[in-house]
Amino acid sequence: MRDVNRPLVIVESPTKVKTIEKYLGKDYSVAATVGHIKDLPAKEMGIDIEDNFKPKYKTISGKQKVIKTLKQAAGDATDIYLAPDPDREGEAIAWHAAEVLKKEGRKFYRVLFHELTKNAIHQAMDSPEELHRKKYEAQQARRILDRLVGYQISPLLWRKVKRGLSAGRVQSVAVRIICERERAIQAFEAEEYWSVTAHIESDAPPPFTAKLARKVVPDSDSKKGEKVSITNEATALAILAELAEEKLIVDKVTKKTIRRNPLPPFTTSKLQQESIRKLRFSAKKTMLVAPQLYEGIELEAGEPEGLITYMRTDSTRIAQEAAEEALQLIGERFGAEYVIEKPRAFKNRKKVQDAHEAIRPTSVFNTPEKLAPYLSKEQLALYTLIWQRFVASQMKQALINNNSVSIKAGAYRFNASGSTVKFPGFMILYKSVDEAAKSEDKSKALPELSEGMELRLNKYDPKQHFTMPPPRFSEASLVKELEENGIGRPSTYAAILSTIRDKGYVEMGNGHFKPSELGFIVNDLIVESFPDVFNVDFTARMEDDLDRVESAEVNSLNLLEQFYTPFKKELDIASESMLSMKGVGMITDIECPKCKKKLHIKVGKNGHFLACSGYPDCKHSSDYTRDEKGRIQPIAPPEEESIDKNCEKCGKPMTVKRGRYGSFLACTGYPKCKYTESVNSNNGGQVATEIRCPEKDCGGNLVQRKSKRGKPFYGCSRFPDCEFASWDKPVNKECPTCKAVFLVEKTTKKDGTFLACANKKCGYKESMKTPN
């Protein structure tokens, strides 16, 4: 029977329980909160603004059972060790766990497990801390700020644009960054320029190329010459004519040995950026796999072990003993010539929280090859990246021989450069994506050259180029942009990127973010009404202030008051003056083809469209797209298409109409007759099924349609009268448990493909039979 007086250790994730039980043994009980147990209410702001912004926490739905389990695990224990993750969110979980387990005579201790290894766990348990009030206040202030913004601006967007939209203090700034980049691309005008490349040989191999760079002008102050600017073909041809009779003579040779230092171990944002670029992981996937490595993987004898240090950090600090262990491995695996005299330390950027180390392996002797049998493909790929980057950070510098040469041809000067690796150092193990690109760029060797040497010209190669617009953001470059601008924190980047896509404000094409039309509309409205709240610098200062709350430099109540007073004024003004996209809409300079009044952009239940400002006298409307310059291109509305079919109810002709979910057939006797039906698979791209709609007294059948993004879904043939829709593929088989009219096909990693009841409350499942 369990000793009810045993001290209880409370962690955040249930996957950690096994790992910690392994090292603490039977002297302690271990239980998990399974994330947060309390939060602000889901359907209201939950902040009492008048009472000093007091938050109204509620037990999260479904967590009553977890709290009951925690209380049972605590029993009559006097000592409770609170060990959720060592960050602000973990601190909040610790405080809320202490609140629900509070009892006379009971003591609470905060323990921070930066890595889940035997030594780290015992050291943390041997030196417990008090709960960190300021860290909790910083987390709470962030939640309150987010609620004040999200729960007051979002309803405004529902009134002015459409229901279901949301604004976020940080996510909306990310959307703004993407919108502003897109507008810079649209405004960009390409400019022509030309380059001239000389293909050259000397008496010694290899042949090489040199780029035209400068021209020495008589009586000029610059001895090096002026930069050559070739703006058109005529100029390029004129220069080639001047060069035709000139000899190529080596003007100057420069030889340098460059020492290249390794990069520091990963911070969260750098891990996300590199795994996006090297492993093709999304930021979200990286932050799903990394916690698995931190919380513990079952190795030999089936016992779990934490493989990396805590994965949410913006510090590059590493423990002395970890660095020394790396030096030992480097000597054994690569040889003494790769070992540095003492561990290499890396300086953190200013204002970086140094509570955690950088992300590193808990033991470098857990090599990727050793762990390969125990890790999934994704786990091994991410662990290898972390392991290599950390070990490389403690290896000797790379030595690169860099040679450059200036070649004169009359008044013109050509430049060439090349490099060879003298000693690979850390690069024998790890190169970042940027380092690999840099090495590839300059890896061509030059022949041995000396000043005054005459070279042989094979040919001049003139080429036309055009300047390029700024690139769209990829996941990696957006994370970098957010980090460099101080927007959000390492733990929030993955969530930001997922949210702005899920809300439909941005789209991904060829791995890059592009604002949707809805994203542009919402961004323009909120930036105009709330210029400070959604300003990049303002948001970055707020992040710094939250850090200062944690370090007790700023009072959280003062921070909230300073934010809310001007925000409330902007909110009140916006409530009255923000443009209504349901009403007036955004004016354009396009004339209505019917009455010549201006068309306005509006938003309805089916999305954005153009409508005449002369409504209701003129009811013209149409869809629109934008060209590459962002200019509106109206799409002429299709005329109603008559088909050879009569209404089953009144006998009048049917016509094809377009609705929210695509085309459907409607009676021309509307509004007296409201009969509709689906377009069959031969007329409109919809596929009819024989499965009855589950809505009571509907009488329709399910049809397969496609969403705006091309994803198939299943809806009722009687749309728009019946709006039933489901993403799951229906199977014409009655549920044996609850008699639902059909089952649906589902696929999960755990269970593979199976059939389940369409009624979520039923829970019936059966495996799909496969043919022998």
Residues with catalytic function = 310
Tokens of 109: 């201790």
Element (H, E) at 540: helix 536-550
Distance CA 80, CA 94 (A): 10
Alpha helices in 38-84 (DSSP H): 64-74
Residue among 686, 690, 736, 722 at smallest CA distance from 706: 686
Task: Please provide the DSSP assignment of 389-433 as one string.
Answer: HHHHHTBPPEEEEEEEEEEEETTEEEEEEEEEEEE-GGGGT---H
Task: Please provide the DSSP assignment of 725-744 as one string.
Answer: EESSEEES---TTT--S-EE
Q: In the 8-state DSSP scheme, what is residue 259?
A: E
Tokens of 218: 């008589």
Distance CA 592, CA 599 (A): 6
Strand duo 743-748 + 725-726: pairing: unpaired
Q: What are the angstrom distances between the C-alpha of 285 and each of 295, 508, 743? A: 16, 16, 31
Distance of CA 729 to the CA centre of its chain: 30
Amino acid type, 486: G
Distance CA 236, CA 739 (A): 80
Distance CA 627, CA 590 (A): 14
Distance CA 30, CA 12 (A): 11
Distance CA 198, CA 210 (A): 5
Distance CA 317, CA 700 (A): 64
Residue 9 three-state SS: strand
Element (H, E) at 177: helix 171-187
Which value, to the nearest 10 degrees, does the dihedral of the CA atoms of residues 265, 270, 273, 274 take?
Answer: -10
Q: What are the angstrom distances between the C-alpha of 610 and each of 381, 626, 635, 657? A: 49, 12, 9, 18
Q: Where are the beta strands (DSSP E) in 627-758?
A: 632-635, 641-646, 653-659, 662-667, 676-678, 687-692, 701-706, 712-716, 725-726, 729-731, 743-748, 752-757
Residue 321 three-state SS: helix
Q: In the 8-state DSSP scheme, what is residue 51?
A: T
Amino acid type, 548: R
Amino acid type, 297: I
Longest dimension (CA), the chain: 99
As a whole number of Å, the end-to-end CA separation of the chain is: 50
Amino acid type, 705: R
